[in-house]
């Protein structure tokens, strides 16, 4: 027991004092940097974490002699092709303020998100797992801050934490829930760790329900669908069901009972309330939802004005509001179509396709929890980028795309002997139903 506690403590310290921790703080800096507790720091926290990450990442790459998978080079090259075209579009963009700010972020913040994931984290399975654990730890921190705000407010209104808004907090907590489910369903672990994953899932789910963010909540559910695709296998010999299906069924049953009981109370969770308010009693769509739907028609109108090359980076605000301010259609596809045209969209899809093609080299015998969790992340973030934020806001999406080389080539990590011999719980084990 003592050796186990020392091992866990060592791993926790390594996680806190790691490149992955700095990178996570960079990715989600918008959720906490406005907190008054960090006002004493004289430099913007996003830039501080980025500079620290650049120094640390350079040291790691020098140690490796810049040996990274070929797919990592390809993904980064296609990203810079896309960002380079966005830079060129400034030549015909009517935006002189928002457009320039946007391109600076695409060439720095978003570019670092792709590079750090593809070149530093993705080549090592150990770093990928540490990245997931740090995300879960960060989500717990944000969720606990949210719990404090929830009880202080009496359970009313949106849960805005640490100077950020409820959507930023919801996204992080959503990632924490996905990590918990991924490790619970796909990883061999002791019963203590399984209980920990369940506790994290419960905390994150509660915060997603009361936080008020419809997008993060629905995105989390979309990510949870991924295990369903590998839950059952039909073969000539019969029907095979993964062992984790039974645990998932229990979790769904308990969650359903909990939600039904909550629905009977006088105060509905803020997120559920906002979902019910999507459509009013007379059939009209709620304000923010209606705005997002109306952006689809506006996108077609604006795109057809310059369908091939677009109106230039940052031009949405000029077309929509006739002001050079930060404004966007809350959908990355609409944003690219209007500002960068069909050429820009094709370049973006090539960048994403370069990452997805790594899936074609995903060997069945090497499938691991890190792979399934990444797919869950991508499914979740896909909904997020289609309903909120502009391209610089969605740097988590670009970071996740940069992780795809893990499907083609990573350094496999041997489990400690303590785990390999002590654990007999294999959630991926199949149970024969018919034969």
**Residues with Cβ < 8 Å from 314, sequence gap 6 or more?**
93, 95, 97, 98, 99, 100, 101, 102, 103, 324, 339
Candidates 310, 325, 296; CA nearest to 387 is: 296
On whether the CB atoms of residues 219 and 383 are closer than 8 A, the answer is: yes
Helix (H, G, I), strand (E, B) or coil at 278: coil
pLDDT of residue 412: 45
- Whole-angstrom Cα Rg for the chain: 22
List C-alpha distances in Å: 50 to 21, 47, 111.
Answer: 12, 5, 11
Give the chain's length.
435
pLDDT of residue 189: 75
Q: What are phi and psi of 233, to 5 degrees?
A: -130, 125
Return the ∠ at Cα 205 (arms to 271 and 398), rounded to 5°: 85
CA max distance for the chain: 69
End-to-end CA gap in the chain: 43
pLDDT of residue 287: 57
Q: What are phi and psi of 294, to 5 degrees?
A: -65, -25
DSSP H or E segment with residue 99: helix 98-105
Q: For 275, what's the count of Cα atoms within 13 Å in the CB-facing half-sphere?
A: 17
Strand partners, 235: 238
Q: What is the pLDDT along the chain (435 residues), one digit of tens a residue?
A: 556 556 566 666 766 779 999 999 999 998 888 888 888 889 999 999 999 999 999 999 999 988 888 999 999 999 999 999 999 999 999 998 999 999 999 999 999 999 999 999 999 989 999 999 999 999 999 999 999 888 888 777 788 888 888 888 999 999 999 999 999 888 877 788 888 888 999 899 989 988 888 889 999 999 988 888 776 666 556 556 666 666 666 667 766 777 676 666 667 788 888 887 775 555 455 556 667 778 888 899 999 999 999 999 999 999 998 998 888 898 999 999 999 999 999 999 999 999 988 887 775 555 678 888 999 999 999 999 998 888 999 999 999 999 999 887 654 444 443 333 344 455 555 544 444
Cβ burial 263-291 (10 Å sphere, 16+ → b, else e): eeeeebbbbbebbeeeeeeeeeeeeebee
For residue 364, the 8-state DSSP code is G
The rounded distance, in Å, linking the Cα atoms of 173 and 217 is 9
Please give the model's pTM, rounded to 2 decimal places: 0.87
The rounded distance, in Å, linking the Cα atoms of 416 and 418 is 5
3-state helix, strand, coil in the chain (%, to 5): 70, 5, 25
Candidates 346, 366, 362; CA nearest to 405 is: 362
On whether the CB atoms of residues 164 and 45 are closer than 8 A, the answer is: no
């Amino acid at each position: 027991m003592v050796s186990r506690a020392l091992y866990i403590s060592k791993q926790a310290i390594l996680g806190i004092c790691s490149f992955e921790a700095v990178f996570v703080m960079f990715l989600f800096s918008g959720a906490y940097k406005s907190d008054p507790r960090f006002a004493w720091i004289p430099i913007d926290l996003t830039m501080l974490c980025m500079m620290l990450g650049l120094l640390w990442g350079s040291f790691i790459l020098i140690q490796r002699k810049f040996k990274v998978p070929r797919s990592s080079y390809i993904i980064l090259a296609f990203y810079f092709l896309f960002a380079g075209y966005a830079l060129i579009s400034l030549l015909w963009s009517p935006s002189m303020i928002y457009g320039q700010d946007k391109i600076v972020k695409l060439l720095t913040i978003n570019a670092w998100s792709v590079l750090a994931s593809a070149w530093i984290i993705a080549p090592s399975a150990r770093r990928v797992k540490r990245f997931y654990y740090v995300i879960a730890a960060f989500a717990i921190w944000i969720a606990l801050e949210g719990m404090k705000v929830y009880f202080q407010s009496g359970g009313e209104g949106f849960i805005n934490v640490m100077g950020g808004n409820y959507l930023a907090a919801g996204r992080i907590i959503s990632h924490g829930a996905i990590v918990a489910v991924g490790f619970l369903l796909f990883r061999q672990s002791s019963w203590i760790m399984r209980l920990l994953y369940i506790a994290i899932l419960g905390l994150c789910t509660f915060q997603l329900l009361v936080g008020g963010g419809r997008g993060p909540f629905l995105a989390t559910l979309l990510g949870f669908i991924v295990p369903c695709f590998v839950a059952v296998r039909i073969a000539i010999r019969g029907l095979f069901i993964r062992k984790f299906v039974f645990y998932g069924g229990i979790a769904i049953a308990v969650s359903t009972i909990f939600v039904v009981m909550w629905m009977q109370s006088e105060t509905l969770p803020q997120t559920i309330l906002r979902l019910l308010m999507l459509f009013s009693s007379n059939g009209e769509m709620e304000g923010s939802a209606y705005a997002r739907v109306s952006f689809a028609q506006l996108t077609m109108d604006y795109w057809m004005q310059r369908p091939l090359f677009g109106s230039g980076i940052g031009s949405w605000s000029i077309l929509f509001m006739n002001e050079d301010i930060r404004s966007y259609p809350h959908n990355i596809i609409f944003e690219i179509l209007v500002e960068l045209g069909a050429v820009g969209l094709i370049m973006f899809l090539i960048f994403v396709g370069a990452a997805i093609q790594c899936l074609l080299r995903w060997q069945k015998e090497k499938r691991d929890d890190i792979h399934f969790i990444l797919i869950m992340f991508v499914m979740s973030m896909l909904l997020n980028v289609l309903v909120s934020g502009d391209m610089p806001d969605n740097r988590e999406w670009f970071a996740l795309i940069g992780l795809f080389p893990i499907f083609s080539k990573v350094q496999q990590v041997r489990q400690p002997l303590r785990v390999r011999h002590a654990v007999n719980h294999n959630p991926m084990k199949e149970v024969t139903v018919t034969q």
